[in-house]
Amino acid sequence: MTTFAVLEYLRRHLAGQLKPEDSTLLRYPTPISQLLGFEILAVDERAATVRMTVTPDVHGNQQGTVHGGTIAELADAAIGTAHSTVIGEGESFATIELTVRYLRPVWKTSLTATAWAQHAGRTVSHYRCEIRDDTDRIVAVADSSVMTVRGDDADRSGPRSR
């Protein structure tokens, strides 16, 4: 079994070069990405592109358009994927702020979220994400702050009481 750094693992995944026994520090694919059908299209250090197909029949709200929360989740997934590329042993991370500006309604389409770091800090980093439809129109823009945690705060073994 080979354990890769997250960025190398994701690059190998995209190139179709992973073996079933290969692993990384974080969980890929994530349960939420499997549930919602996210697909990683591209990855680089502190950058990622993630796609999903949406339809009001599955992701809809009362107006018959795709629910904004679905778009926000896609943005958060792209940003999280981008930030995960710099997470090492003994580290984890959490979104501490996510702001989404919706620019147009969405119906049945493929949404592509591209995220990149605007500021890479030791503890807090800031990301921008553009979400585009299958005609390449921007449907939403997201800004996020992500906190890297270390030591006991990064323990992924489960909840603990303080």
Q: In this predicted model, which residue has the larger pLDDT, 158 or 49?
A: 49
160 pLDDT higher than 80? no
Task: Tell me the percentage of the chain whose pLDDT exceeds 70.
Answer: 96
Q: How does strand 23-24 pair with strand 3-4? A: parallel
d(CA 2, CA 22): 5
| pLDDT bucket at 154, cuts 50 / 70 / 90 | confident
The answer to whether the CB of 18 falls within 8 A of the CB of 4 is: no
Average pLDDT, the chain: 94
Q: Which pLDDT belongs to residue 74?
A: 98
Per CATH, domain 3-154 is 3.10.129.10: yes
Q: What does the pLDDT look like over 109-143, one tens digit per residue?
A: 999 999 999 999 999 999 999 999 999 999 999 99
Q: What does the pLDDT look like over 2-41, one tens digit per residue?
A: 999 999 999 999 999 999 999 999 999 999 999 999 999 9
d(CA 74, CA 23): 24
Q: Which pLDDT belongs to residue 161?
A: 45
Q: What does the pLDDT look like over 49-69, one tens digit per residue?
A: 999 999 999 999 999 999 999
d(CA 58, CA 39): 17
- Both structure tokens of 96: 């501490």
What are the sequence ranges of the domains in the chain? 3-154
